[in-house]
Amino acid sequence: MAPTVLLAEDDRAIRHALERALTLEGYRVTAVADGVEALEQAHRTPPDVLVLDVMMPGKDGLQVCRELRAAGDRTPILMLTALVETADRIAGLDAGADDYVVKPFDVEEVFARLRALLRRAGSPQETAPAAAPAGGTLEAAGLRMDPQARRAWRGERELELTRTEFELLELLVRHAGTVLDHATVYDRIWGYDFGPGSKNLAVYVGYLRRKLDEPGAPQLIHTVRGVGYVLREG
């Protein structure tokens, strides 16, 4: 059965164009014009994935995202934003969004990101071989993760992570001490390489660092300039 998409976008032209493009791509689309309608529709008929514009009347996309997450709804959310500052994109991730697309966007990029979100939500995550202690947990660099329960700790402190943050951290933990290049991370986490101009990965790494790092404690995620990232202590 075709995946269902709840699209919330107050710009009529963009809403109609994206609704038509998604329908032609094979999705079953419900399109609404504001955040209040989006919440009502999401509760009435839960979709497989949500596409939310950030700036909407009534309730904006961030409010919708926060309310859904607070209610325990883990449906994948793709944010549409005209805000290009890193802090603005981080606000969306902090609200619980899984990914974002900056306007003006190429509809093929929207398709690619939706495919990746649906693939991650609907099938077991691909993982590389890694040693897992008894109980199925992963441990590296002072971090402990339970992939089945989707919980993570640094020391005794439990980390509050979004779906994408958890999957990114899990990938780094499974390959602790090994430098992962950008293309590999994009392929494993998003299922698509968005090219050298994309800042998507850098935003997620930056936000993950803010949740991991503590005053006086060593940084765990290190940048290897021009290559990628590695998880290690010190």
pLDDT of residue 31: 96
**What are the structure tokens assigned to 231, written together?**
């998880």
Cα separation, 22 vs 181, whole angstroms: 32
Give this prediction's pTM.
Answer: 0.63
Tokens of 159: 């980390």
Q: State how far the Cα of 4 lies from the Cα of 23, in Å rounded to an integer.
A: 10
Task: Please give the C-alpha separations between residue 158 and each of 80, 105, 154, 167, in angstroms, as whole numbers.
Answer: 30, 36, 6, 16
Chain region(s) in the chain for CATH 3.40.50.2300: 4-122
Largest Cα–Cα distance in the chain?
54
CA atoms of 160 and 170, how far apart (whole Å): 14
- How wide is the angle at C-alpha 22 spanned by C-alphas 20 and 26, nearest 5°? 115
Cβ-based neighbour number of residue 116 at 10 Å: 21
b/e sequence 42-62, b meaning 16+ C-beta within 10 Å: beeeebbbbbbbbbbeebbbb
Q: Which residue positions in the chain have pLDDT lower than 70?
A: 84-90, 122-135, 192-197, 234
Cα dihedral across residues 163, 221, 201, 95: positive or negative: positive
Topology annotation, domain 4-122: Rossmann fold (3.40.50)
Segments of the chain assigned to CATH 1.10.10.10: 138-231
What pLDDT is recorded for position 233?
84
Residue 44: predicted pLDDT: 94
Q: Residue 50: which of 81, 31, 78 has the closest Cα?
A: 78
pLDDT of 93 = 72
Looking at residue 129, its pLDDT comes to: 35
Give the CA distances from residue 185 to residues 171, 222, 226, 232, in Å, rounded to whole numbers and listed in that order: 8, 14, 14, 17
Fold topology of 138-231: Arc Repressor Mutant, subunit A (1.10.10)
